[in-house]
Amino acid sequence: MSTGVLLSIPSPSLASPIARSRLQCRLPTLAPVARGGPITAPADPLRLLGPALPITGMPSMMKKANKRLGGVTCYAAPLSPNTVQWVSAVSIAVLMLAKGTAIHKSFLLPLFALQAPPSVISWIKGDYGTWIAFVALLVRLFYYIPGQLELPFFTMLLVIVAPHQAMNLRDTQAGSMVSLAIAAYLAFQHFSRVGSVRSALDKSSIVATSAIILVTIIPCLFLL
């Protein structure tokens, strides 16, 4: 004994306008395939689902959902990490040559090795940087070099001979913490020895003060 199920499908002419709109669908036309020939997929499989419909109101919906769920909207930083590193390297170089400060400038050498851009570090470790450091060392052996001009030379030597374990601290949270500690100590030395904030903003110290502020702020940005 067999049983059957009878399905009644209303004809489009007798259905309501809403039902007719739901029944009306466009199927893509497929080219006939010869017997025994390969079956090729359509160039765009998503076209089988019909034309893409524009979705409107998505930004407002996302903002409402974000506000309802208590989420935080992410945004792109105005400055790239490479640009921030260049600002730090220039500020450290200015501090090496500046005269309106009484900081211990030897602390600037490891700070430069940790905060300089990768392109500068690779250039110093390359052939050109090695030859410049070699010639500067020969000149230093036979002639006197002022202290302010010795700092860039010793900085290059520090970067060249630094072990991999020390250079691996770059672009890490531990390296940023070390940089922040050095920068905070230099800022304390600068403002305590200048005497007051007004003296730090004088014409003779404004360049060094600005560089100190930048060198202190930049490690904080990498810790965020």
> What are the backbone angles phi and psi of residue 117, rounded to the nearest 5°?
-65, 155
pLDDT of residue 202: 77
Q: Examine the pLDDT at 142 and tell me if it is beyond 70.
A: yes
Q: Which two tokens stand for residue 74?
A: 């992410």
Q: Examine the pLDDT at 66 and tell me if it is beyond 50.
A: no
If 0-12 CB within 10 Å is exposed, 13-18 middle and 19+ buried, where does residue 135 land? exposed
User: Rounded CA gap, 48 and 26, in Å?
Assistant: 9
Whole-angstrom distance between the N-terminal and C-terminal Cα of the chain? 76
Q: Which two tokens stand for residue 152?
A: 């860039």
On average, the pLDDT of the chain sits at: 73
Q: Cβ contacts of residue 26 below 8 Å, gap of 6+?
A: 50
For the chain, the residue count is 224
pLDDT of residue 40: 52
Q: What pLDDT digit, counting tens, does each position of 72-90 carry?
A: 333 345 678 888 899 999 9
Closest CA to 158 of 133, 138, 140: 133
70: region left, alpha or beta (phi > 0 left; psi from -120 to 50 alpha): left
The alpha helices in 126-201, defined as continuous H runs, are 127-142, 147-161, 164-167, 173-194, 197-200
User: Rounded CA gap, 197 and 53, in Å?
Assistant: 62
Q: What pLDDT digit, counting tens, does each position of 6-58 carry?
A: 444 444 444 444 444 444 444 444 444 445 555 555 555 444 444 444 444 44
pLDDT of residue 77: 53
Q: Cβ contacts of residue 97 below 8 Å, gap of 6+?
A: 148
pLDDT of residue 146: 76
More confident residue, 201 or 87: 87
81 CB neighbour count, 10 Å cutoff: 13
